[in-house]
C-alpha cells in the first residue's frame, strides 16, 4: 500500500510573511487530510519559519534543491544538513528548471540523491521529457536514462525510500496537462524500469507522483490512476484553497 503524497513546489515565490500566510491557510483549512502525506517546498529563506509553524502539524517541509557536500567553501549552496537544520525532511532533486537553467545533469542528480539519502532527507526526484522528445517518440528512452543514471548505485531499500515525480516538461506551468492515459502510461513505464533494475519489491513500493499543471479541475482524475501515487504541484500550490482541493481529491 503506497501512501499518496501531495507536494507543493512554491519555486521562487513568497516572502517569509507570504509563506507563513499560505501555510497557515493550508494548515487551518484542512486540519487532518487522512491517509495522505502533505509536503510544502518553500523558498529556502522561508523554510525555517514555515517549519517552526508546522512543528505539530501533519504537513512536512521540503527544500527545492541541495548541494551534495555537507559543508565547505561552496558560496551560495545549501547542503542537506542545513536544510534539515532549518526543519526540512524532504528535498526536490533534479527539477526540470534546475536541469534547464542551472545545467544539472543525471550525474549531479545522482550525487544529490545519495547525499539526501545519507541524511534521511526524502528525495523527490524529478524526471520527464520535452515536447520535442515526446513528438520524436523518445519518452521511454529519456525517462529510462534519467532514472538509470540518476539512481545509479542505489540499493533496493534506498529506491524504496525515495519518491519519483514524473513531470513532462511541456506540461509544467503551461496549463497543458498530460491526459490521464499519457500520465498512467509513463508511470507504468517508470515502474517497469525500477522493477528491471531494482526488483519488483522496489517497483511496488516506490511512490511516483505526477506533476505538470495539476489543479483542482484535473486532480481527481489524475490521482485516481492506479500508478499515480500523488502530485507535485507548482502554480496551484500557491493558493491555499486550490492546494486543499487537490489534497481532498485523493481518493
User: Cβ 212 to ligand PGA, closest distance in Å?
Assistant: 5
Q: Which stretch binds ligand PGA (CB under 6 A): 48-56, 59-67, 208-216, 222-230?
A: 208-216
Count of residues engaged in binding ligand PGA, rule: CB under 6 A: 13
Q: How far is the CB of 195 from ligand PGA (least distance, A)?
A: 25
Residue 214 touches ligand PGA, criterion: CB under 6 A: yes
Angle between helices 139-150 and 106-118 (to 10 degrees): 40
Is the torsion defined by CA of 211, 36, 61, 239 positive or negative? positive
Judged by CB under 6 A, does residue 211 bind ligand PGA?
yes
As to burial, measured by CB atoms within 10 angstroms (0-12 exposed, 13-18 middle, 19+ buried), residue 71 is exposed
Cell 529563506 belongs to residue? 45
The three three-digit cell numbers of residue 199, written as one number: 526488483
Q: Note whether 8 binds ligand PGA by CB under 6 A.
A: no
Which one of 233, 240, 244, 247 is in contact with ligand PGA (CB under 6 A)? 233
Kindly compute the dihedral angle of the four CA atoms of residues 170, 77, 84, 45, in this order, to the nearest 10 degrees: -80
- In this complex, which beta carbon is closest to ligand PGA, that of residue 119 or of residue 238? 238
Does the annotation count 13 as an active-site position?
A: no
By CB under 6 A, residue 109 contacts ligand PGA? no
Q: Is 167 known to be catalytic?
A: yes
From the candidates 27, 37, 95, 129, give the one annotated as an active-site residue.
95
Q: Which of 163, 228, 235, 247 binds ligand PGA (CB under 6 A)?
A: 235
CA atoms within 13 A on the CB side of 33: 27
How far CA 101 is from CA of 105, 146, 204, 221, in Å, comes to 11, 17, 33, 31
Q: Which of the following is catalytic: 97, 104, 129, 167? A: 167
For the bound state, the minimum distance from the C-beta of residue 50 to ligand PGA, rounded and expressed in Å, comes to: 18
Sign of torsion over alpha carbons 241, 246, 249, 251: negative
Does position 173 bind ligand PGA by CB under 6 A?
yes
The C-alpha atoms of residue 250 and residue 141 are separated, in whole angstroms, by: 30
Tell me which stretch binds ligand PGA (CB under 6 A): 128-136, 143-151, 184-192, 228-236. Answer: 228-236
Check binding of 167 to ligand PGA (CB under 6 A): yes
Q: Catalog residues that contact ligand PGA under the rule CB under 6 A.
A: 9, 167, 172-173, 211-214, 232-236
Amino acid at each position: 500500500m503506497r501512501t499518496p503524497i501531495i507536494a507543493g513546489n512554491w519555486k521562487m515565490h513568497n516572502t517569509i510573511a507570504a509563506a507563513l500566510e499560505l501555510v497557515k491557510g493550508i494548515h487551518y483549512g484542512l486540519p487532518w487530510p487522512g491517509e495522505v502525506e502533505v509536503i510544502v517546498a518553500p523558498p529556502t529563506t522561508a523554510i525555517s519559519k514555515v517549519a517552526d509553524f508546522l512543528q505539530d502539524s501533519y504537513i512536512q517541509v521540503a527544500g527545492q534543491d541541495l548541494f551534495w557536500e555537507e559543508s565547505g567553501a561552496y558560496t551560495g549552496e545549501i547542503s542537506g544538513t542545513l536544510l534539515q537544520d532549518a526543519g526540512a525532511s524532504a528535498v526536490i532533486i533534479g527539477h526540470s528548471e534546475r536541469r534547464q537553467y542551472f545545467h544539472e545533469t543525471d550525474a549531479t542528480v545522482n550525487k544529490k540523491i545519495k547525499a539526501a539519502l545519507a541524511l534521511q532527507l526524502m528525495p523527490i526526484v524529478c524526471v520527464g521529457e520535452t515536447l520535442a522528445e515526446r513528438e520524436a517518440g523518445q519518452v521511454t528512452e529519456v525517462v529510462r536514462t534519467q532514472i538509470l543514471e540518476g539512481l545509479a548505485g542505489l540499493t533496493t531499500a534506498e529506491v524504496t525510500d525515495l519518491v519519483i515525480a514524473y513531470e513532462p516538461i511541456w506540461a509544467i506551468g503551461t496549463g497543458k496537462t498530460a491526459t490521464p492515459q499519457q500520465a498512467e502510461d509513463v508511470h507504468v513505464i517508470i515502474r517497469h524500469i525500477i522493477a528491471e533494475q531494482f526488483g519488483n519489491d522496489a517497483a511496488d513500493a516506490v511512490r511516483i507522483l505526477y506533476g505538470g499543471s495539476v489543479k483542482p479541475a484535473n486532480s481527481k482524475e489524475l490521482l485516481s490512476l492506479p500508478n499515480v501515487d500523488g502530485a507535485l504541484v507548482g502554480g496551484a500550490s500557491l493558493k491555499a484553497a486550490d492546494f486543499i482541493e487537490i489534497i481532498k481529491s485523493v481518493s
